[in-house]
Amino acid sequence: MNAPSTLSAPHNPGMDEDTFEQFAEQLTRYVRERLIPAEAEVIANDRIPDEIVNEMRDMGLFGLSVPEEYGGAGLNMTQYARVVNIMAYAAPAYRSIFSINVGMFASALKNGATEAQKAEWYPQIAEGKIACFGLTEPGSGSDSAAMATTAVPDPDGNGWILNGTKRYITNAPHADVALIMARTSKEALPKNAHVSAFLVPMDTPGVSTGSPDKKMGQSGSHISDIMLDDVRVPGDALLGGETGKGFRFAMQSLDNGRISVGAAATGYARRALDSAMRYANERKAFGEPIANFQLIQQMLADSEIEIYAAEAMMKDVTARADAGENILVKAAAFKVFASEMCGRVVDRVVQVYGGAGYLAEYDAERFFRDARIYRIYEGTTQILQLQIAKHLLREWKDS
């Protein structure tokens, strides 16, 4: 895989490298010594303890990608993915609580917000306000032409009135602000210009959320519907101050979200493999550790090979992003490979555990359930395969 030609002149230098490495080392200790021991409580109560959320705020995790001038850490993409990868070694809920802030929401502000919008929202999310991203609906996900949520001009002022329902929205039950995609044109327009984006505080009259959905895995991470019933927002809630660009802002920010999911899947696969290594050396059969058996070794080796490949992809795609390259295809490719890889690794880990891997008292069963969603959100594997192929064919025809 070719390295970006512009790496010598990074588009986004990020945090000073020595400072970042110290932070990464501190964060690794925090994950191992604080977050992992608290996993049982998170799972039992299906929520992260408030004191841990506050600790994460104090560490600056909610503002990792917010520019320094607005109170954030100003990390570049390489550093951001490293942080997600480190955090994802622990239960997925820990990453989920801040990932929308530093991934899709902050990216949408960077790509499309006015200076006034940046000045208003960057400091708030840097200090720990929780964001959510309202794209998916009961009848539409990747199909923007089917989007039913509407935004019409408010006849009583210069604002907008929003109506509709958003589904499967991460952090919605406790979010402070949502980036809501809504159609500002009844007709589907080229390049999805019928969709605009709105910054909507969750305490705005008419905004409500459903009960958190019960899920297969990822305890402590909450999703729910967002209902919008004649929600009135001012004119400056329109992201970028211009209609017809919301979907483009959303898609650009999804590159960050896909890198985040890929980095998380890679970190969680590493956690699962480490667990399998420990179990294989402790569990004995026929008088010796099962780690001595060659077919067990094959599963461990195959997992290491695939994790290493995903780690290499992560380094490459984030370096390209920091160099200013268009990473739409490569971010999608990384997300697909890493999420599918994680699924294969956790499946092998259950197999290494044997019968114990099917029991809830062992970690392997949880790893298996938690990992399944990585292949679905921020673009299913199948949607991203179509997207990758579409761009490949377009580039081939243009060449």
CA atoms of 179 and 173, how far apart (whole Å) = 14
CA atoms of 308 and 273, how far apart (whole Å) = 12
The tokens describing 22, both together, are 């110290």
Residue 58 CA to its chain's centroid (Å):
21
Catalytic residue among 311, 340, 378, 395: 378
**One-letter amino acid of 163:** N
CA atoms of 61 and 23, how far apart (whole Å) = 11
Residue 331 CA to its chain's centroid (Å):
12
Closest of 104, 156, 111, 112 to residue 130, by C-alpha: 104
Annotation marks residue 340 as catalytic: no
The tokens describing 179, both together, are 């980036």
Q: How far is CA 219 from CA 54, 105, 169, 378, in A?
A: 19, 23, 15, 19
CA atoms of 81 and 314, how far apart (whole Å) = 8
For 324, residues 6+ apart whose C-beta sits below 8 A from its C-beta are 6, 11, 12
CA atoms of 117 and 239, how far apart (whole Å) = 8
Task: Give the phi and the psi of residue 207 in degrees, each rounded to 5.
Answer: -90, 130
Task: Give the phi and the psi of residue 235 in degrees, each rounded to 5.
Answer: -60, -30
3-state secondary structure at position 233: strand
The tokens describing 119, both together, are 């000045």
Are 184 and 151 contacting, i.e. CB atoms less than 8 angstroms apart? yes
CA atoms of 396 and 390, how far apart (whole Å) = 10
CA atoms of 89 and 84, how far apart (whole Å) = 9
Bridge partner list, 169: 224
Annotated catalytic sites, by residue?
Answer: 378
